[in-house]
Amino acid sequence: MSNGQAIYQKLLDTAKQAAENSYSPYSRFPVGAALLSEDGRVFTGCNVENASYSAGVCAERTAVLKAVSEGCRRFKAIAVACLKNADGWPCGICRQFMSEFGVDLEVVVEGSSGKVQVMKLSELLPRHFGPDSL
């Protein structure tokens, strides 16, 4: 395993751990995220649902909100772990939300084959609407 892959695997393990804190009594679909910043810090997140369903927040946005509210805006990679679907990629709202801080972000998921899958956010959200679009 190359060093890069070891980092992705570690980030995925952290995302899986974060999913243990998921509050998802309605969907019963726990998701965790681990966001690696350029300075090496890792911010975790989980999905937090609500009785008013649309008020729920995804794991990825929880992680980004935690990072930005701690003064961190530059990111390298985010691992996402859907405990019930290894091949679960970020939803459209999360792709848009993350793109605000750069589309070079690497998105890491476990993949159904068990082989770590990595895609750039720019591939997952081409021609995104960002700060330069205004």
Q: Is 110 a catalytic residue?
A: no
Catalytic residue among 20, 38, 49, 60: 60
- Burial of 70 per CB tally in 10 Å (0-12, 13-18, 19+): exposed
Separation between Cα atoms, residue 117 and residue 82, nearest integer Å: 14
For the CB of residue 33, give the shortest distance to ligand THU in the complex, in Å.
Answer: 7
- Kindly state whether residue 110 participates in binding ligand THU, applying the rule CB under 6 A: no
Q: Which stretch binds ligand THU (CB under 6 A): 3-11, 57-65, 112-120, 124-132?
A: 57-65
For the CB of residue 131, give the shortest distance to ligand THU in the complex, in Å.
Answer: 22
**Total site size for ligand THU, rule CB under 6 A:** 13
Phi-psi region at 97: left, alpha or beta (left = phi > 0; alpha = psi -120 to 50): alpha
Structure tokens that stand for 46 in this block: 């989980």
Is 27 or 112 the residue whose CB approaches ligand THU more closely?
27
Separation between Cα atoms, residue 55 and residue 66, nearest integer Å: 17
Could you tell me how many residues make up the chain?
Answer: 134
Nearest by Cα to 12 from 47, 49, 56, 42: 42
- Kindly state whether residue 60 participates in binding ligand THU, applying the rule CB under 6 A: yes
**By the criterion CB under 6 A, which residues form the site for ligand THU?**
24, 27, 29, 31, 47, 49, 56, 58-60, 90-91, 94
Give the residue numbers marked as catalytic: 60
